[in-house]
Amino acid sequence: MRDVRLLAAAFDPGAEIDAFSAVHAEAGGVAAFVGKVRPTGGCEALELSHYEPLTLPGMEGLADAALGRFDLSGILLAHRVGVLRPGEPIVLAVAAARHRRAAIEAVDFAMDHLKSDAWFWKREKRADGWHWIEPRAEDHSDLARWKR
């Protein structure tokens, strides 16, 4: 089962994880990652832009790739768009599997792709204005390990 969402409004990661876990009651393990806007570096806001005709199909393709690569019973990928404040959740990746390793690796796989190979543009508002955010070298090396 694949559940992929672009969200314009805030969401409750705990409630989403609980609902996903209930649907996958037969799973031996559910792994989750919640990414939040960091309240450091003078960040006042984070703006996430996207082009939905590419973003949503790209996220669906990523979910399908995770389902094909790992022995999962389901995956949920939810990503915010718009302007967010420090502390707000940006992204949620949840995977259910018979065994923990598949669920954990699927979430790691999904996040590495969402972080470096995604269809989002990010900029951060600080006291001196807006600044575009680019993936770091570590993000690219994290992604590259899945291509080996």
Distance (Å, rounded) from C-alpha 75 to C-alpha 27? 12
CATH code of 108's domain: 3.90.1170.40
Q: What is the pLDDT along the chain (148 residues), one digit of tens a residue?
A: 999 999 999 999 999 999 999 999 999 999 999 999 998 889 999 999 999 899 999 999 999 999 999 999 999 999 999 999 999 999 999 999 999 999 999 999 999 999 887 789 999 999 999 999 988 888 888 888 888 6
Chain centre distance of CA 62: 10
- This prediction has a pTM of 0.94
Q: Can you give the pLDDT at residue 121? A: 93
Q: Can you give the pLDDT at residue 103? A: 98
- The 10 Å Cβ neighbour count of residue 129 is 8
Domain that holds residue 23: 2-147
Average pLDDT, the chain: 94
Dihedral (Cα; 59, 71, 111, 62), 10-degree rounding: -20
Task: Please list the alpha-helical segments (H only) found in the chain.
Answer: 13-23, 52-69, 100-116, 137-144
Task: Report the relative pairing of strands 89-97 and 72-80 from DSSP bridges.
Answer: antiparallel
Q: Can you give the pLDDT at residue 148? A: 66
Domain count, the chain: 1
Distance (Å, rounded) from C-alpha 137 to C-alpha 1? 33
Q: Rounded to the nearest 5°, which phi and psi values hold at 76?
A: -125, 125
The CA angle 141-147-148, to the nearest 5 degrees, is 95
